[in-house]
Chains A and B, each alone.
Chain A
């Protein structure tokens, strides 16, 4: 990083560098992913933050196809849109929206969490969403940091070894002729 810049400009140039963050959204709630994205797109994770300064970073989200809504939101959460023409009120459930476009849910969530001003569109341009874990080479080269996932993924029963299953404490031992439903 030693260039022919005087010492003060050189240290200031590093301060205003734009980083590229990577988030893996597999089995994560899209709202938590979106709030992490919006914090970094605005630049609120930096001590030099100012709303007019345009110091947000780039955020790359991969595996958006495999996000996990909690509860019954896949069927109950409704995304509505209206183009303004009569008869064009569309309502899509989260599942239908996800099938149509696997990146749309996170995109709309981040869009709603950013400040509602003219800088929002520039910040959305710095958000990069990919449905699977295949990332283009130029983006892979730019990444600086991977952020930890917000939700701890619980293990499936098939992922536990037999020893762990045996070691798990039993509340009561059923008699031999007991029939489990």
Chain B
């Protein structure tokens, strides 16, 4: 689709994150997998090896492990601004799942759509926005009505 048909947004940061303290925007991450399915093999390996380290490194994120009888294993990431992102991880290796989880933890919750401008400022004008009467001597604005 064209850029006009797909959604777009302006560049923004969530509450000027990073100017002061950096707050990890990932609120909750849930690993949904099955205990005996073939597709969840990578997830199960990841849970054995990497999940605990990930949880220790990101103290601000809550990690939920929920084994259910499901055909496709999923990772559901919820962010502080309310966005929920679901990724299916069937037949993925443990390493790939680890990379995916670090990517999700580095993202802010903003939508991944076309960004209209790669810049944004809260103060677009320092000396004042131009209008037709800037730099005009006030004498010229007198009109003699005949």
Binding site for B on A (CB under 8 A): 8, 11-12, 14-15, 17, 19, 22, 46-48, 133-135, 140, 143-146
Q: From the candidates B125, B132, B141, B144, name the one contacting A17 in the complex (CB within 8 A).
A: B132
CB neighbours of A135 from chain B (8 A): 146
Please encode chain B, from 123 to 138, with 1 for each CB lying within 8 Å of some chain A CB and 0 for all others.
0110011111000100
Most chain B beta carbons < 10 A, residue from A14, A17, A46, A48: A14
Spell out B's residues near A (CB within 8 Å).
124-125, 128-132, 136, 140-146
Q: B139 to chain A: closest CB distance in Å? A: 11
Task: Return B81 CB to nearest CB of chain A, in Å.
Answer: 22
| Distance from B121 Cβ to chain A, minimum over Cβ atoms (Å) | 11
Closest-CB distance, B60 to chain A (whole angstroms): 33
A12 interface neighbour in B128, B129, B143, B146, Cβ under 8 Å: B129
Cβ of A145 and Cβ of B136 under 8 Å apart? yes
Separation of A140 and B136 alpha carbons in the complex (Å):
21
In-complex Cβ contact of B130 among A8, A15, A133, A144 (8 A)? A15
Tell me the nearest residue of chain A to B142, going by C-beta.
Answer: A146
Determine if B144 and A146 form an interchain contact, defined as CB atoms under 8 angstroms apart: yes
Tell me whether A8 and B132 are in contact (CB under 8 A). Answer: no
